[in-house]
Amino acid sequence: MKFGFVKVGTFVPEIKVCDTEYNAEEIKRGITLALKNNVEILAFPELSITGATCGDLYYSDTLLNAALASLKKVAEFTKDINMLVFLGLPLKKDGKIYDVCAAVNNGNILGFVPREVISGAFDEYSKSAFSAFDGEDGFVYLEGKEIPFGNIVFKEKTFGYGVGVIIGADLFTEIPRELSLSGASVIVHPFSLPELIGSEENMKVALKDASMNGLTAIVSVNAGAGESTTDEVYGGFSAGYECGKPLFNSPAFNTGLSVSEIDTDFIAFSRSRRFKGEGSSDAVTVEFSASGDGELTRKYPKTPFVPTDETERNIRCEKILELQAQGLKKRLEHTGAKKIVLGLSGGLDSTLALLVAERAALLSGLTVRDIITCTMPCFGTSSRTFENTIRLSKAFGTTLKKIDITKAVERHLKDIKHDKSTLDAAFENAQARERTQVLLDVANMENGLAIGTGDMSEIALGWATYNGDHMSMYGVNCTVTKTLVRAIVETQAEKRRGKIKAVLCDILDTPVSPELLPAKDGDISQKTENIVGPYILHDFFLYHLIGRGSSPRKVYYLAEKTFKGEYDGETVKKWLKTFIRRFIAQQFKRSCSPDGVRVGSVDLSPRGALKMPSDAAATVWLKELESI
């Protein structure tokens, strides 16, 4: 697939214990179905050729020979099939019997990876015949060929990503990280764990932790219902995780194929940032060829910073609000400030800042009366937003200061000989800078802390007046995107009652605007999203370009698919071009931005989170985008 995506699949076959020929046919059926779905890497459960519940029958040379013969038939079946297939069997080597995972591709058996741990949580009586692998790599000789045996990373010839194998309880060791450092972007994890209460949930936690620790993708598949039920039942659970995030979860007692895609480019991007200088060459490298031309089936959320699940959204919003408040509380205590000063505009950002200030005040032993909310109307202030600032302040019980800055701005424009009828950047920014001056001076007068309200989406776009609304004594919203600001305010509106709820709902319904151009008949004349583009798109671009290291072409591809029916390709391209141009050109504003609390993995702070020159050119990114 393109853009670093690799289509992976798991197949839980309907096996018959010890019937290797029947099981081989089931495996072939799975390969055929996976081929129709353009799967490039396919995993079957542990010991899938014989079954995982053969007990002492694993000692039988008859069964061992039959298993090997069936493996060869499956390998022959894959001739001219560009798919890397993993299946399990018992294998005798040097007088010992090993639980191995065989890799086959294009008619060849590429290698055998043995299980290392035969004890602990996965130590069922039915596997007592197996020896643990001692770590010494070697070969198995089949029909005059040397087949690698041991620690192997299978490397795709064209695209260069690596695939490793972990069997059963080896997941709970350092092997996942070791394989990652050896170049495995994808780890196949076949296992055979009886279905017990809580076992599926425990496995999900283990997969999440292992994939996060190794910055890798793990494709896991359990033995299924065809296993012996002498004492236990096997569920056939399968799942995929990428760097701690679930890709798919197939429920227990589900046979057949499960498919998703892994983003190997994102994995490489993540490792380049964390595994600097680390590496391992312990694993043997074996090349394979896999290619799939299928469409991307993986779904990406339109709002990557805001969970789509309501319960998860509420939990995240509450957590972020608490982080913001705790950060402000510490800054208040450190500076000895006794008041919190903020400008209310009737918009979302300043509303969230007020919610943060309210909680921080209570945490600090202050009262809501110690929050000084300033409304500073000027040329662009609409009647709706002005009234909402009054309603908001009164509903919360803050100390309200109404400071009309119109005359001050007019005097300033006159002093610099600026024609007030010229509605240029100086006209707009004079208002923003005057408001910041007022807030900082009020803070000085009141022994207070002036807090900034700008959010991360505005910071990314540079949609902030230099030394105006991008400057403060502490920025509480600096790592909260616009879509997330809206979500937090929404969750608070759902919890509140009476006048607070009413005004929060009206603010949520108000168009986003800087209100720097004269209002028309008292209404907003300047709508931000008509100028710089929809924030839902910009937050999507921010997440994928900066958070996941995706190229402009890839971001365009993902956005076009994700927003199909809502924004066409030309619209996506137009606003993506705007985002890239503004993001790179406006770094000089971020370079001198004030302190602010970090709440998520994507952060634009110049103090370690984003090291970026202020004079970089956007040429190469825009050129790539124009080539679409």
Residue 33 belongs to domain with CATH number: 3.60.110.10
- Report, as an integer, the average pLDDT of 285-314: 92
Same-domain pairing of 252 and 315: no
Same-domain pairing of 137 and 186: yes
pLDDT of 19 over the 90 cut: yes
In a domain, 256, yes or no: yes
Instruction: Please tell me the predicted confidence (pLDDT) of residue 361.
Output: 97
In a domain, 305, yes or no: no
Beta carbons of 237 and 250 less than 8 angstroms apart: yes
Same-domain pairing of 255 and 363: no
Average pLDDT, the chain: 92
Same-domain pairing of 129 and 227: yes
Give the whole-angstrom CA distance, residue 22 versus residue 34.
19
- Report, as an integer, the average pLDDT of 433-449: 97
Would you place residue 282 in the very low, low, confident or very high pLDDT band (cuts 50, 70, 90)?
Answer: confident
Same-domain pairing of 235 and 283: yes
What 8-state DSSP symbol labels residue 520?
Answer: B
Same-domain pairing of 208 and 314: no
Same-domain pairing of 352 and 221: no
Give the whole-angstrom CA distance, residue 337 versus residue 339.
6
Same-domain pairing of 413 and 494: yes
In a domain, 298, yes or no: no
**Range picked from 106-120, 127-141, 142-156, 354-368 for highest mean pLDDT:** 354-368
Question: If we measure between CA atoms, which residue out of 356, 280, 290 comes closest to residue 318?
Answer: 356
What are 399-412's pLDDT values in tens digits?
999 999 999 999 99
What 8-state DSSP symbol labels residue 86?
Answer: E
Instruction: Please tell me the predicted confidence (pLDDT) of residue 119.
Output: 64
Instruction: Please tell me the predicted confidence (pLDDT) of residue 123.
Output: 47
Instruction: Please tell me the predicted confidence (pLDDT) of residue 280.
Output: 62
Number of domains in the chain: 2
Percent of all residues in the chain with a pLDDT value above 70, rounded to a whole number: 96
Instruction: Please tell me the predicted confidence (pLDDT) of residue 513.
Output: 74
Give the CA-trace dihedral at 61, 62, 67, 73, to 10 degrees: 130
Same-domain pairing of 452 and 565: yes
In a domain, 397, yes or no: yes
Please name the residue that has the structure tokens 């995982």.
52
pLDDT of 171 over the 90 cut: no
In a domain, 293, yes or no: no
In a domain, 65, yes or no: yes
What are 235-252's pLDDT values in tens digits?
888 999 999 999 998 877
pLDDT of 201 over the 90 cut: no
In a domain, 297, yes or no: no
What 8-state DSSP symbol labels residue 397?
Answer: T
Same-domain pairing of 282 and 319: no
Q: Which of 192-206, 423-437, 578-592, 603-617 has the lowest mean pLDDT?
A: 192-206
Instruction: Please tell me the predicted confidence (pLDDT) of residue 121.
Output: 47
Domain boundary among 254, 288, 322: 288
What are 538-573's pLDDT values in tens digits?
999 999 999 999 999 999 999 999 999 999 999 999
- Report, as an integer, the average pLDDT of 317-346: 97
In a domain, 296, yes or no: no
CATH number at residue 510: 3.40.50.620
Instruction: Please tell me the predicted confidence (pLDDT) of residue 81.
Output: 93
146: helix, coil or strand?
strand
Question: If we measure between CA atoms, which residue out of 209, 245, 185 comes closest to residue 5?
Answer: 185
Same-domain pairing of 245 and 345: no
Q: Which two tokens stand for residue 53?
A: 């519940």
Instruction: Please tell me the predicted confidence (pLDDT) of residue 276.
Output: 65
Give the whole-angstrom CA distance, residue 318 versus residue 494.
12
Instruction: Tell me the residue ranges of DSSP E strands in 306-463.
Output: 339-343, 371-375, 399-402, 448-452
Same-domain pairing of 429 and 559: yes
Instruction: Please tell me the predicted confidence (pLDDT) of residue 122.
Output: 47
Instruction: Please tell me the predicted confidence (pLDDT) of residue 405.
Output: 96
466: helix, coil or strand?
coil
Domain boundary among 288, 323, 342: 288
Instruction: Please tell me the predicted confidence (pLDDT) of residue 124.
Output: 53
Q: Which two tokens stand for residue 591?
A: 């370079």
286: helix, coil or strand?
strand
State which residues form the domain around 478. Answer: 310-626
Would you place residue 435 in the very low, low, confident or very high pLDDT band (cuts 50, 70, 90)?
Answer: very high
- From residue 493, give the alpha-carbon distance in Å to each of 248, 463, 501, 563: 33, 26, 5, 27
What are 455-473's pLDDT values in tens digits?
999 999 999 999 998 899 9
Instruction: Please tell me the predicted confidence (pLDDT) of residue 74.
Output: 97
pTM: 0.90
Between residues 609 and 267, which one has the greater pLDDT? 267
Neighbours of 172 (CB within 10 A): 16
Please name the residue that has the structure tokens 């695209």.
159
pLDDT of 522 over the 70 cut: no
- Report, as an integer, the average pLDDT of 118-124: 55
Instruction: Please tell me the predicted confidence (pLDDT) of residue 469.
Output: 87
- Report, as an integer, the average pLDDT of 104-120: 89
Between residues 128 and 590, which one has the greater pLDDT? 590
